Structure 1
Amino acid sequence: MLRFTGKNVAVNSVVPARQLHLVLSGQRLASGRLQLASHYARAVQTVSARYASTSTSPSNDKSSHTSNLPPSPVSPRKHRVELKPGPLKKPLPTSATPRPHSTSPKQTQPSFPAFRPSLKPSTPDPVPSAIELAKQDIADATARGVLRPAAPDAGAIKRFTHQAFELLKFYFRGLKAINTHRKQAAAIRSRIATGGVALSRAESRFIRTFQQDALKLIPFVIVVVVMEELIPFIALYVPRMLPSTCVLPGQRDRINSKARDNQQLALAGNWELFDLLRKESENSGFIPTLSLGNPGALCGVIGIPAWGPLQLTRWRLQRHLQNVASDDTMLKQEGYGRDLTLPELKEALQERGMSTFSEKNSADELRAQLKWWIDMTEVIPEGADAVSRRLFVLGIIGSHK
């Protein structure tokens, strides 16, 4: 009994000690929580006091209170700027846009007609063989009534013999026409020498054409007598060897087309040279013939031969422009080509290096272009002549101005 009583006392003495330890531990936790709560309350009071002091302090004390605060990581927002569309800019001029014509400050020059097209070198079509060209020329001349057609039931040999005989008769009639033209030209000169009616433009061109045919007569007769089959090759490669009276209609069209293509190539390939000539002579208004370093380019524009030495090329250029000057005087007297037909107007512009502008224009437009040329060349500056003034106009045409 006493033993059990002693155990109970021991147990009772141990249990209160554990309870006391737990109580003390709870008190420590509670005191720690109270301390945290008191620190949190003090921090809240401090932040509140600072916020109240910064919000209620005057503007002159802002720097003293805000200097203790850390810098804000967010940069201040800028004022919003409303963007409006800017003015539209005009597009820059391209190479296809025609450059305006710059006139000399000393004199006012007539402007080129507004319907002038831009210069673009055309791609040449493939050239058929000489035999095919000869067949085409003979068929075209037969259709136009220049050559008599063969019998419908004729064979190949008979048809070939008939065509050769018809060509021989055509060339023989052409040679006889040259002799007839010689007599007519002599009659015109005799009339003018005796004080008759003044020379007209048609008569002047007739005499000039006869003189050119007379120079081609001797080599052409040799070719006809030796081998007339070479004439299609001559018409294709050396068209200037043929007299005007011995050219078939198809050959004449091909010669004119080739001359226009050569003029277009000369204008498209040498425009920088023409532009330089124009700028150098713009103040004076004329270009002396002796100052031309490359007259072959100008010869290509007006359609005359450019082979040979420099002196020969200049002589051809000067002689051609002298003939054009006398022709301009007659055209002005006859109303600026009022009575000229469409083919005659194209021929006149081709002689002046303006065939590129006469492909698809009407007769009135061609007359306007011819009038522009005459008005430009009529103004002769001091120290210039008819040839040097026309060289300057050719420079304007060649530079695409």
Structure 2
Amino acid sequence: MRINARPLALAYRPLPCVRYMGVIQPNIRTFSSTWIKYNKEQLASTINKVTPIAKEELKPLTTETTTEKVAEQVAEQVVTKAPTSRIGKFIQQSKDLIRFYKDGLKLLWTNNKEAKALKLKVQNEGYELTRREFQLIHKSKKDMIKLIPFGCVFMILPESIPLLVMYVPGMVPGTCLKDSQIQKTREKLDKVRQLMSANVLKSAERIEGISPEDFLSLSKFQRIAKHYAYDFDLSRIDRAHLSSYCRFMGINRIGTQSILKKRLEDYMNYLDQDDKLLLKEDVDQLDLKDLSQAVEERGMRSVDLDQENMRRGLKYWLSLTQPANPEHKIPAGLLVFSRMFLLNANYKPRH
């Protein structure tokens, strides 16, 4: 059986004939750069609606067992009254936020000291990091870069930090973000990804031989990678598509072509190191927080998705990035491109 397949490339040049089912088609057709759209809102006709995330259950408060401690707590609650006026509430909220950000900065400094100690241990003793320690070093490095602009705002006008968190969350260290703020950032990124995924799927309808099912099959995916690895090399992808790739993966998409290429390479190298550590640990043992972060960083959906599907998706990712045969490893550019097809994929259990 023959399947007509037109070449898929992001270098925008005629490619050799593609063979999916063992038959080479003699006709060559040029792939147009206008066929795949990433950011055009008018192309996205339907986008999956995200249902509100259930509120986290409140943890029960712990009290001291002695009667005197309980009495002191009750007395403090009676004496301390919550402000009723708007100005009083605003002042109280500002104090609470400043206290929260101070604690966050202290935690950031503590993490940085621990990260430095781990780096010295690796250099001097050849110590092998666990995934938790590797993540600590990575997050500490990112937070320290954000510390200078955030610290300036905190010292000059601390009341404006909530606006900074709302509009520029990328400038805020992770230790100074609440869980609800992290969740809102993920929901915002998910909406962007849904739009881009819808545009790519609609554009790909004109191309024969490529569909989400092709990327869901490990054997078919490796066959696509074998034919198009050269074209999906990051050095051959133009700036517009590199910017879209960065946007989809949730990293800064502003810069020249060389800057975007280096930024995306560094990010994919980080994921590759993290993947190696994930293989040493059991993915099934990851808690919901670590699991959500892992799939989110890899361009997969973590909003309004059951844990089992996220675990299966993460295992499938590891089979692509850390195969038994290194020659079957999927190129970084094609790996990111496949995320746009598989954003809402239902990963089936592997037997």
**Equivalent position SS for 1:155:** coil
Read off the aligned partner of 2:84 and give its amino acid letter: G
**Equivalent position SS for 2:117:** helix
Q: In structure 2, what is the Cα distance between the partners aligned to 1:180 and 1:255?
A: 25
Q: In structure 2, what is the Cα distance between the partners aligned to 1:224 and 1:274?
A: 47
Quote how far apart the aligned CAs of 1:316 are: 1.2
* Structure 1 match to 2:256: 309
Equivalences, count: 264
Quote how far apart the aligned CAs of 1:247 are: 1.4
State the Cα deviation string for residues 84-141 of structure 1 (Å, max 9, x = none): xxxxxxxxxxxxxxxxxx99558xxxxxxxxxxxx9524689xxxxxxxxxxxxxx9x
Q: In structure 2, what is the Cα distance between the partners aligned to 1:236 and 1:303?
A: 16
* Structure 2 match to 1:189: 119
* Structure 2 match to 1:398: 340
Contact 2:200 2:340 in 1 (8 A): yes
Quote how far apart the aligned CAs of 1:193 are: 2.2
How do 1:113-152 and structure 2 match up within 5 A? 120-122=46-48, 151-152=80-81
Aligned partner (choices 284, 289, 294) of residue 234 of structure 2: 289
State the Cα deviation string for residues 221-266 of structure 1 (Å, max 9, x = none): 1111222222222122111011111113322221121122222222
Instruction: Flag the 1:365–1:223 CA change in 2: closer, same or farther, 3 A.
Output: same
- TM-score using structure 1 length: 0.58
* Structure 2 match to 1:241: 171
1:228 aligns with 2:166: no
* Structure 1 match to 2:149: 219
Aligned partner (choices 347, 352, 359) of residue 298 of structure 2: 352
Contact 1:217 1:243 in 2 (8 A): yes
* Structure 1 match to 2:318: 374
Q: In structure 1, what is the Cα distance between the partners aligned to 2:317 and 2:131?
A: 17
Quote how far apart the aligned CAs of 1:285 are: 5.0
How do 1:320-339 and structure 2 match up within 5 A? 320-335=267-282, 337-339=283-285
Q: In structure 2, what is the Cα distance between the partners aligned to 1:210 and 1:273?
A: 40
Read off the aligned partner of 1:198 and give its amino acid letter: E
Quote how far apart the aligned CAs of 1:347 are: 1.4
- Higher relative contact order, structure no. (Cα contacts within 8 Å, ≥ 6 residues apart): 2
Q: In structure 2, what is the Cα distance between the partners aligned to 1:103 and 1:344?
A: 40
* Structure 1 match to 2:84: 155
**Equivalent position SS for 2:285:** coil
* Structure 1 match to 2:9: none
Contact 1:302 1:351 in 2 (8 A): yes
Quote how far apart the aligned CAs of 1:189 are: 1.4
Q: In structure 2, what is the Cα distance between the partners aligned to 1:360 and 1:124?
A: 7
* Structure 1 match to 2:188: 258
Q: In structure 1, what is the Cα distance between the partners aligned to 2:148 and 2:313?
A: 38
How do 1:10-25 and structure 2 match up within 5 A? none
Quote how far apart the aligned CAs of 1:216 are: 0.6
Q: In structure 2, what is the Cα distance between the partners aligned to 1:324 and 1:120?
A: 31
- Aligned-residue Cα RMSD (Å) equals 3.5
Contact 2:243 2:253 in 1 (8 A): yes
Considering only CA atoms, is the larger Rg found in Structure 1 or Structure 2?
1
Contact 2:50 2:303 in 1 (8 A): no
How do 1:168-207 and structure 2 match up within 5 A? 168-195=98-125, 197-207=127-137
Contact 1:262 1:303 in 2 (8 A): no
Structure 1 unaligned blocks of 5 or more: 1-101, 107-118, 126-139
Q: In structure 2, what is the Cα distance between the partners aligned to 1:211 and 1:144?
A: 34
**Equivalent position SS for 1:270:** helix
- TM-score using structure 2 length: 0.65
* Structure 2 match to 1:166: 96
Quote how far apart the aligned CAs of 1:282 are: 4.5
Q: In structure 2, what is the Cα distance between the partners aligned to 1:159 and 1:395?
A: 48
**Equivalent position SS for 2:251:** coil
Structure 2 unaligned blocks of 5 or more: 1-17, 23-44, 62-76, 211-222, 346-351
Q: In structure 1, what is the Cα distance between the partners aligned to 2:245 and 2:320?
A: 18
Quote how far apart the aligned CAs of 1:365 are: 2.4
